Amino acid sequence: MADLLTLDAAALVLVSFGVGIVVGLTGMGGGALMTPALIFLGIPPSAAVSNDLVAAAVNKSVGAAVHWRSGSPNLKLAGWLVLGSVPTAFVGAFVLRAVGEGELPEDLLRTAIGVALLLAALTYSARRLLSLRRAAVGQAPVGTVQVRPVATVAVGAVGGFLVGLTSVGSGSLIMVALLLLYPALSSVRLVGTDLVQAIPLVVAASVSHVIVTGVDWLVLVPLLVGGPPGTYLGARLAGRVHPRAVRRGIVVVLTLTGLTLVGASPVAVGIIGAALLIFGPLVWTLARQASGAGRWVPPVDAVADD
At residue 102, the 3 state secondary structure works out as coil
Mean pLDDT, the chain, rounded, equals 77
Looking at residue 236, what is its pLDDT?
Answer: 77
- Tens-digit pLDDT profile for residues 121-148: 887 777 667 666 655 554 544 556 788 8
pLDDT at position 91 over 90: yes
Residues 69-91, mean pLDDT to the nearest whole number: 86
Count other C-beta atoms under 10 Å from residue 271's C-beta: 12
- Taking the C-alpha atoms of 15, 226, 118 and 166 in order, what is their torsion angle to the nearest 10 degrees? 120
Nearest to 81 by CA among 209, 206, 193: 193
Tens of pLDDT, residue by residue over 220-272, are 888 888 888 887 787 777 666 665 666 677 788 888 888 999 988 888 888 88
Backbone angles phi, psi at 185, to 5 degrees: -80, 125
Over residues 263-290, the pLDDT tens digits come to 888 888 888 888 888 877 777 677 666 6
pLDDT at site 83: 94
Question: What is the rounded distance in angstroms from the CA atom of residue 231 to the CA atom of residue 86?
Answer: 23
Q: What is the mean pLDDT of residues 104-119?
A: 88
β-pair partners for 142: 185
Average pLDDT, stretch 80-103?
Answer: 88
pTM: 0.74
